Amino acid sequence: MIIDHPLLGPRDASEFIYLGDASLLNRPNWDEEKSEDNFYKYLYLRENVAGMHKELWFHQQGDRSWLVISRNTVTHEIFKVELATEFKKNMGKSND
């Protein structure tokens, strides 16, 4: 696999470590009534997507960026690679 790092260009997948679903960016608030249930859902419940999937990769053997990668889980096509920091900031603008 080749991951097109937004700052460093195409890099071999062996430089990266996979974490999982990018929904991990949406950490719930700790001080709400339902926070225990929210954390349970945040940590354990995942969509098992056949198709487009946003996921987190860490450039361990590189610049130590966390990336949000949009990948088709069926074809492995990678559509978009973004810095997690940028992704998170933009996410704040549109949704939260």
Q: Which residues bind other proteins (CB under 8 A)?
A: 1-2, 12, 17, 19, 24-25, 27-31, 35-36, 39-40, 42-43, 56, 58, 60, 64-66, 72, 74-78, 83-85, 88-89
Give min distance, CB of 4 to other proteins, in A.
9
Q: Three-state SS across the chain?
A: CEEEECCCEEEEHHHCEEEEEHHHHCCCCCCCCCHHHHHHHHHHCCCCCCCEEEEEEECCCCCCCEEEEEEECCCCCEEEEEEHHHHHHHHHHHCC
Give min distance, CB of 48 to other proteins, in A.
18
Give min distance, CB of 85 to other proteins, in A.
4
